[in-house]
A and B are shown apart, each in its own frame.
Chain A
């Protein structure tokens, strides 16, 4: 069950283990994601999905294993550095500035693409102006892409939930990432908002060619969108394959439905 990573791989995790004190969060997990691939990680609550995201983005440091992003080892690097080299993350609990407008929030996502000094900004030099204009253009492109025109000048705090999620998505995209980590992008959304978000995710892949790792509870969405799926249970990998393969895997069914029904209800609540 060892997949070989090759030229077209954007990120590969090799034998990652993470524990907090005596609690094992992730145990010996390996997988890779191809360029342009939409890769999903699923599993019951506490299976270690978010821990893996935290390992990739440098928030946690796994005790064992290695993470290679475009040939570079990520373990030991700071979250800032990892973001700068092209790993963006869309947070489940929207991480935006409520009092700033949609445009300003998205412009903040472009920070790492701005390279002028404080002095230059103070006098609003031609260099500053040029960069601000160029970045605004990128941001306007995203506003158009995510259908946020109507909210452009609204403080994010005033927006409906579905729109906030789109802004959060836009903020991650504004970084121009090579790899996008999507942490439950449709959590709490109604059917229509979910369909819209699915559309946007597919469009991002088709138009921008960005590789994505998706953590999501909405199984319908995962099965529809993902190219391949990794299933975790208690921090361990129990399956990896195409949606069809994973769906039929007895181990997966057991992990989700439990040995008997009482288990399931406990898990759900």
Chain B
């Protein structure tokens, strides 16, 4: 951690970092974006120049220190240009999820009081125009893609090209205006509001400062916080998770700015799989949902493969099992014997498999943002991709702990980074963190800030943790999610849910049982995999709902749950389940923008299903399958 400069001129900012890179390696490639099917380079000079143009454009539009600039777009170079251009003029960036529906756009724009919105395309412009009259602070909407927007006549609309042209004109007229503004920058200037996903209540904007980002960035490059060995200019990153989330911001914007690793932007959300294969990143960060999907994709493909391929897969996954075990016994590092086995298996299976999913060149991979089932991590160990599980949250700039190279412990989130203090609350077991990356508070919510950040600087994470062997931290669950059964047992639902979800057939599992005599679950199937399974078994079905309620599918789910039950104590057994017969969706309010289940909302939506289970009736959604009861017999 560098000393905080007294004079603003020396304050570290991301914008300054990129300017430095442009000076030292101007022609080097900073990022690549695919346009018309061809990857095009953007050099550090281009990057810095665009940041300066955006900065000048914002000055020209009268952005003052502390003013908010919102971005509503998928990941693309302009996202980074806007983010850093805003930081350069001491403004505050507010990221919106591309999937945010109009009502949430209104909430976020109004709550943040954003003066300028950068909207990607017609879809996002339409959302903004629908609510613009209720967002009094909003003065300009800058659109990146003109298709379908160019013909709309609205005084607040402006194209990205016009926006940059204003920047160029302003730079011409006041060449040193940006430098003068930047010189006043303070370490405690807020640079971004990261809206938390809000599984309870409306989202809150967490304020991160220059000093926060600097600390997190240092952990990334010096401490091996995300990847080990630390990222460098030879590394390749694919940026595909929403940039408004703190984790993606850390692995894209921050990692790129401080290490020079080259960022590649996925063409669109639909092409991530194809882009991953083309780009073959060396560093790969994913949330559990993505890892689960990759695993499911392999398993489903193999199930449908020819006999000889299945045989080959079976043999080498068995060998892989041995490799994973010896590696895990060795903290995640190869032993001589595991390396030999891996070398042979690489020729027969692992290389092809890793290439197929785009992980052939990965030297470091990470998972965070939600708990992941150890089974999933183990699967990737078997093919030689050690995934390091990390822990951090928006409020501590995504920095707290990580599984270090050679010291991986499956099922834990690893050890604290250097400079990070961690404490477990004696009564509740809540994890408290303290370090310079702790946020400055929630935007306009001093009450919520006081609940989270105490006077001694400890951040109350809301997660319950445990130390494993005194060094590694294990996350038990969110405090508010912990189930206390009617019998008084404390149970962590997410552990059970993840165990169920590690099956490729299950997309959602919600375990319920708070103040109830026993545990039950709501299950949502993965349409692709179950659909293929049904096809192979010649089970006809029409819709998702129909598929969910097929007797064979119920048996399948029942088998999965029974298997999970075998591995748990009796009180943790899931006695009954019901199928969720619709795909959960952000726009319907079932999921947060980060695809996390909104428990409270679901409890209401699926209340009848839950009652059906506890009332001992079988009126709904598969409950008439009497064999559901077999589950409780299995564990007896």
A residues with CB within 8 A of B: 136-137, 140-141, 143-145, 147, 149-150, 152-153, 199, 202-203, 206-207
Chain A residues in 8 Å Cβ range of B38: 140
| Complex A-B: 6 CB contacts under 8 Å | A136-B37, A149-B37, A150-B274, A153-B274, A203-B147, A203-B148
Residue-wise interface mask of B (237-277) relative to A, using a CB-CB cutoff of 8 A (1 in contact, 0 not)? 00000000000000000000000000000011011001000
Question: A137 CA to B36 CA in the complex, in Å?
Answer: 7
Judged by a CB distance under 8 angstroms, whether B2 is at the interface is no
- Closest-by-CB residue of B relative to A103 is B37
Question: A216 CA to B212 CA in the complex, in Å?
Answer: 58
- Closest-by-CB residue of A relative to B36 is A140
Instruction: Give the top 9 A-B pairs by smallest Cβ distance, nearest first.
Output: A150-B270, A140-B36, A140-B37, A150-B271, A149-B267, A149-B271, A149-B268, A206-B151, A203-B148
Chain B residues in 8 Å Cβ range of A137: 36
- Closest-by-CB residue of B relative to A143 is B37
18 new A-B pairs (CB below 8 Å) besides A136-B37, A149-B270? A137-B36, A140-B37, A144-B36, A145-B147, A149-B37, A149-B267, A149-B268, A150-B267, A150-B268, A150-B270, A150-B271, A152-B37, A152-B274, A153-B274, A202-B148, A203-B147, A203-B148, A207-B147
Nearest-neighbour CB distance to chain A for B273, whole angstroms, equals: 8
Question: A147 CA to B37 CA in the complex, in Å?
Answer: 12
B residues with CB within 8 A of A: 36-38, 147-148, 150-151, 267-268, 270-271, 274
Chain A residues in 8 Å Cβ range of B37: 136, 140, 143, 149, 152
Is B268's CB under 8 angstroms from A147's CB? yes
Nearest-neighbour CB distance to chain A for B634, whole angstroms, equals: 40
Chain B residues in 8 Å Cβ range of A206: 148, 150-151
Chain B residues in 8 Å Cβ range of A136: 37
Question: A151 CA to B268 CA in the complex, in Å?
Answer: 12
Nearest-neighbour CB distance to chain A for B180, whole angstroms, equals: 40
Chain A residues in 8 Å Cβ range of B148: 199, 202-203, 206
Chain A residues in 8 Å Cβ range of B151: 206
Question: A143 CA to B35 CA in the complex, in Å?
Answer: 11
Chain B residues in 8 Å Cβ range of A147: 268
Chain A residues in 8 Å Cβ range of B274: 150, 152-153
Nearest-neighbour CB distance to chain B for A236, whole angstroms, equals: 37
Chain B residues in 8 Å Cβ range of A145: 147
Residue among A145, A150, A206 with max Cβ neighbours from chain B (10 Å) = A150
Nearest-neighbour CB distance to chain A for B68, whole angstroms, equals: 31
Question: A143 CA to B38 CA in the complex, in Å?
Answer: 12
Residue among B36, B147, B151, B274 with max Cβ neighbours from chain A (10 Å) = B36
Chain A residues in 8 Å Cβ range of B147: 145, 203, 207
Chain A residues in 8 Å Cβ range of B271: 149-150
Question: A206 CA to B151 CA in the complex, in Å?
Answer: 8
- Closest-by-CB residue of B relative to A154 is B274
- Closest-by-CB residue of A relative to B38 is A140
Chain A residues in 8 Å Cβ range of B150: 206
Nearest-neighbour CB distance to chain A for B304, whole angstroms, equals: 14
- Closest-by-CB residue of B relative to A152 is B37
Nearest-neighbour CB distance to chain A for B240, whole angstroms, equals: 13
Question: A262 CA to B36 CA in the complex, in Å?
Answer: 54
Is A141's CB under 8 angstroms from B36's CB? yes
Chain A residues in 8 Å Cβ range of B36: 137, 140-141, 143-144
Chain B residues in 8 Å Cβ range of A199: 148
Question: A72 CA to B340 CA in the complex, in Å?
Answer: 75
Nearest-neighbour CB distance to chain B for A134, whole angstroms, equals: 12
Nearest-neighbour CB distance to chain A for B586, whole angstroms, equals: 16
Question: A84 CA to B498 CA in the complex, in Å?
Answer: 59
Question: A149 CA to B270 CA in the complex, in Å?
Answer: 8
Nearest-neighbour CB distance to chain B for A224, whole angstroms, equals: 15
Chain A residues in 8 Å Cβ range of B270: 149-150
Chain B residues in 8 Å Cβ range of A150: 267-268, 270-271, 274
Nearest-neighbour CB distance to chain B for A204, whole angstroms, equals: 11
Nearest-neighbour CB distance to chain A for B428, whole angstroms, equals: 46
